[in-house]
Amino acid sequence: MTTTQAPLYLALHRLMNDLGFRVHDCTGPGKPLGGVCLVPNTPGGGYPDGIIVCWTPHDRLGRDAYGPDPARDRLYHTLQEVMNDDLAFLLETAGCTLQPFGQAGATLITATPAPGEQAEDDPDC
């Protein structure tokens, strides 16, 4: 994470907690638990520097002890799609500068509101 990304990451983490979402490390030991994932993005591939925000369902929803289950698979992907859309809406409502990221429904946050432009009830984002 760069020094320019750290304040944005912390503001987004605080906002997600304030909204009642659990932020988890989707690449580390907390991955199976699911929740909001915040990942620093380095510029490239047509995307600017920022923080990627996405939803990851709990691993239990994606697994079936008795073999593949198309209904659970649909539920897993539908939940991920709906939650990614809702997160983008909430972040936009909070005044964050954002754009779609990739093909899986993630959102790239590039800035929080400038001082004096924040959402009335949230001074962080």
Q: What pLDDT, on the 0 to 100 scale, is given for residue 36?
A: 93
Task: Count Cβ atoms below 10 Å from residue 6 Cβ, excluding itself.
Answer: 12
pLDDT over 70, % of the chain? 81
pLDDT at 123: 46
Determine the average pLDDT of the residues in 26-54: 84
Q: What is residue 112's predicted lDDT score, i.e. its pLDDT?
A: 75
Structure tokens that stand for 103 in this block:
């093909």
Give mean pLDDT, residues 21-48: 82
Query: What is the mean pLDDT of the segment spanning 20-25?
Result: 88
CA distances from 53 to 14, 23, 44, 115, 117 (A): 13, 10, 17, 22, 22
Structural domain boundaries of the chain? 5-111
| pLDDT bucket at 124, cuts 50 / 70 / 90 | low
More confident residue, 99 or 125: 99
Task: Report the alpha-carbon distance of residue 56 to residue 74 in Å, rounded.
Answer: 14
Q: What is the pTM of this model?
A: 0.81
Quick: pLDDT tens for 85-107.
Answer: 999 999 999 999 999 998 888 99
Give the mean pLDDT of 80-88: 94
